């Protein structure tokens, strides 16, 4: 089958298991892929799932000055392509509104991509509408090919409307994984966006464990998985746990890396709860699963960051639900599309007293934890199966790479 060029921001990334899950699934359905990554991996670990991908992975020049010979050769070849003039005009129009080094780097990467793609490439598909979408758009124009994209969270909410509107008009279609994102993109480009939930591959997420009733003095394990960045609200989580203090027996386990780790550890120490918190750092999917199965309660206090960045529908909430954990989360972005009153507790973002009350209530009520966890597991397995969204995406991509039938 004709090859599909997939443009990603980085490969592989521990925080983007949904992309690895999707690409491995598309290969299993018969699509031939070739990956083009804008960045080299920075994680010291990798999910086993990423190793299942058969596609060749190419790394574009992450910084143009580091590979001047390759960039020059790419530009010399790209400028002879029939669509180069139109791509350059589009880039210059973008540059006038966004005169940043990042914008210039994307055009240079697009030149290399357009020059190095094989002649069998039939379509470009970008994960994230912002920077990967720019590289895909410019390169597709140079080569006279169609392109499409999947938009997720940060890329939707931190990209200017003018840019999203023009990209939606230029691409074949766009998928997004939340109703909130769909409504926003549909308003900017009517008819271009499809709602496709990522879902979970339950072959990789077993049935939840049977959790034994805890001794009255045994700590309730509260777990969270996510990057230590502003939009995840971990400072609110630490503040809420500090309000509970020693009135309950609890322990907090965090899985994930991120730039705010030292700051959050200092906050926990100042609040006198550092000895109740375990920071496990970035881990692969097997370790994430083990952490969820060893916990009693999941929390994620997401909020909208000062730059507009926010979550979509975090996969970790679905993963936690699949392991029978009750969910404490915030009523922000697309989280209410999964978390309802039957499977968890929603509180307003940034409301530390409400978050503390929700955690305190569930820490002290094992019967309610069990009931909510059972309902959460049933909900995610019923309404968020991976295969459903994968089949929709496969149909869209297959139509783009398949040659038209002769008349």
Q: Are strands 121-127 and 3-10 parallel, antiparallel or unpaired?
A: parallel
349 shares a domain with 234: yes
Structural domain includes residue 178: yes
Of 128, 126, 127, 88, nearest to 104 by C-alpha is: 88
Residue 165: Cβ-neighbour burial (10 angstroms; 0-12, 13-18, 19+): middle
User: pLDDT of the chain along its 407 residues, tens only?
Assistant: 468 999 999 988 877 888 888 999 999 999 999 999 999 987 767 767 778 889 999 999 999 999 999 999 999 999 999 999 999 999 999 999 999 999 999 999 999 999 999 999 999 999 999 999 999 999 999 999 999 999 998 899 999 999 999 999 999 999 999 999 999 999 999 999 999 998 888 888 899 998 887 777 789 999 999 999 999 999 999 999 999 988 899 999 999 999 999 999 999 999 999 999 999 999 988 899 999 999 999 999 999 999 888 888 889 999 999 999 999 999 998 899 999 889 999 999 999 999 999 999 999 999 999 999 999 999 999 999 988 899 999 999 999 998 654 44
CATH number at residue 374: 3.40.50.2000
86 and 225 share one domain? no
Is 208 within the bounds of a domain? no
Same domain? 333 vs 246: yes
- Strand segments, DSSP code E, in 187-255 are 193-195, 220-225, 250-255
pLDDT at 406: 47
How far is it, in rounded angstroms, from Cα 173 to Cα 44? 35
357 and 393 both lie in a single domain: no
Residues 195 and 307 in one domain: no
- Pair (226, 193) in one structural domain: no
Give the dihedral sign, CA 300/304/310/313: positive
pLDDT score recorded for residue 351: 97
Does some domain include residue 209? no
Write out 160-198 in H/E/C secondary structure: CHHHHHHHHHHCCCEEECCHHHHHHHHHHCCCCEEECCC
Q: What's the pLDDT at 278?
A: 97
Residues 150, 237 share a domain? no
Residues 104, 36 within the same domain = yes
At 47 the pLDDT is 66
Whether residue 268 is found in the same domain as residue 175 = no
Residue 117: domain span:
3-199+385-401
> Angle at the Cα of 397 (from 392 to 402), degrees rounded to 5?
125
Q: Does 42 reside within a domain? A: yes
Virtual CA dihedral for 282, 286, 290, 291, nearest 10 degrees? 20
| Tokens of residue 377, six digits | 């597991």
Local structure of residue 274 (DSSP, 8 states):
G
Would 41 be classed as within a structural domain? Answer: yes
What's the domain count of the chain?
A: 2
Is residue 33 situated within a structural domain? yes
Q: Are residues 246 and 302 in the same domain?
A: yes
Phi then psi dihedrals of residue 358, to 5 deg: -65, -45
| Same domain assignment for residues 150 and 271 | no
Helices 234-244 and 352-363: crossing angle, nearest 10°?
A: 60
Residues 7 and 26 in one domain: yes
């Amino acid at each position: 089958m004709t090859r599909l060029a997939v443009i990603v921001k980085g490969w592989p990334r521990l925080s983007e298991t949904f992309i690895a899950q999707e690409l491995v699934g598309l290969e299993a359905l018969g699509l031939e892929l070739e990956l083009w990554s804008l960045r080299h991996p920075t994680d010291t670990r990798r999910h086993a799932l990423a190793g299942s991908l058969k596609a060749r992975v190419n790394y574009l020049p992450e910084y143009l000055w580091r590979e001047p010979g390759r960039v020059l050769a790419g530009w010399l070849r790209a400028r002879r392509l029939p669509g180069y003039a139109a791509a350059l005009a589009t880039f210059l129009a973008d540059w006038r509104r966004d005169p940043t080094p990042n914008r210039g780097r994307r055009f240079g990467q697009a030149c290399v991509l357009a020059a190095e793609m094989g002649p069998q490439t039939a379509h470009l598909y970008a994960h994230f509408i912002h920077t990967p979408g720019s590289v895909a758009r410019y390169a597709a124009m140079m080569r006279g090919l169609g392109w499409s994209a999947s938009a997720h969270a940060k890329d939707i909410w931190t990209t200017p409307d003018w840019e999203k509107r023009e990209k939606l008009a230029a691409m074949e279609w766009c998928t997004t994984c939340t109703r909130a994102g769909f409504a926003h993109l549909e308003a900017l480009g009517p008819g271009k966006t499809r709602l496709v939930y990522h879902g979970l591959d339950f072959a990789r997420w077993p049935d939840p464990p049977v959790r034994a009733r805890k001794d009255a003095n045994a700590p309730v394990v509260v777990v969270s998985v996510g990057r230590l960045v502003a939009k995840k609200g971990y400072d609110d989580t630490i503040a809420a746990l500090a309000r509970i203090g020693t009135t309950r027996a609890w322990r907090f386990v965090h899985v994930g890396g991120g730039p705010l780790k030292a700051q959050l550890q200092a906050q926990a120490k100042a609040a006198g709860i550092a000895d109740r918190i375990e920071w496990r750092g970035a881990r692969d999917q097997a370790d994430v699963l083990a952490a969820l199965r060893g916990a009693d309660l999941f929390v994620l206090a997401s909020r909208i960051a000062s730059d507009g960045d926010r979550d979509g529908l975090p996969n970790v909430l679905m993963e936690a639900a699949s392991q029978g954990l009750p969910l404490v989360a915030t009523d922000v972005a697309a989280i209410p599309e999964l978390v309802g009153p039957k499977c968890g507790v929603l509180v307003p973002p940034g409301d530390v007293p409400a978050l503390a009350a929700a955690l305190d209530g569930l820490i002290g009520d094992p019967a309610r934890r069990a009931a909510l966890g059972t309902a959460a597991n049933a909900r995610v397995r019923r309404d968020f199966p991976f295969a459903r969204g994968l089949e929709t995406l496969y149909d869209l991509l297959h139509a783009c790479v398949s040659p038209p039938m002769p008349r």
